[in-house]
Amino acid sequence: MSALERSAWGLVEEAERDVASITVDELEAELADGGTIALDIRDIREVWIEGSVPDAEHAPRGMVEFWADPGTKYYKEFFDPDRRYVLYCNEAGRSALAAKRLEEMGYTDVAHLDGGFTAWQEAGGEVVDVPQKDYKNG
């Protein structure tokens, strides 16, 4: 197998240079002040198993661009280019990539959580359970 021109972690490092990163303490302060949306981009199965930051919105990494674009049929109302978003995943790789994409789309106030949900848990941040939905029966 030949080597890739750019590795996944190389792309993450590039995104981290371009996107603001904040600490758990900074995110807690922003959430307490209101106005900031914590955006959990982990796979829904990760959210069901591990829980989430209280009041976080969820947009799986594979759908972020589509849910954030009012021009698609997938658009979600909690996206607004003028709002503040702090994205997080498990350890901050996916969130750095997604935050960079949102900025490229025109979202002007985006950051990602340094260390991701793992750092949130290790710092003793509050975690809420997210029950699994029964998609077959509504």
CA distance 94 to 47: 15
Please check whether residue 136 lies inside any domain of the structure. Answer: no
Please check whether residue 5 lies inside any domain of the structure. Answer: no
Please check whether residue 11 lies inside any domain of the structure. Answer: no
Please check whether residue 20 lies inside any domain of the structure. Answer: yes
What are the C-alpha distances in Å from 62 to residues 95, 97, 123, 138? 11, 11, 28, 23
Please check whether residue 138 lies inside any domain of the structure. Answer: no
Contact criterion met (CB below 8 Å) for 83 and 37: yes
Please check whether residue 102 lies inside any domain of the structure. Answer: yes
CA distance 50 to 18: 29
Contact criterion met (CB below 8 Å) for 112 and 99: yes
Residue-level pLDDT at 137: 61
Residue-level pLDDT at 138: 56
Q: Go through the chain and tell me how many residues it has.
A: 138
Q: Which two tokens stand for residue 35?
A: 């106005």
Nearest partner of 59 among 2, 14, 107, 10, judged by Cα: 107
Q: Which amino acid is residue 40, in one-letter code?
A: D
Please check whether residue 2 lies inside any domain of the structure. Answer: no
What count of other Cβ atoms lies within 10 Å of the Cβ of residue 8?
11
Mean pLDDT by 10 residues, the chain (138 residues): 86 93 97 96 96 97 97 97 97 96 97 98 96 71
Q: What are phi and psi of 113, to 5 degrees?
A: -85, 120
CATH of the domain at 98: 3.40.250.10
Q: Name the residue range of residue 106's domain.
A: 16-122
Please check whether residue 97 lies inside any domain of the structure. Answer: yes
The tally of domains found in the chain comes to 1
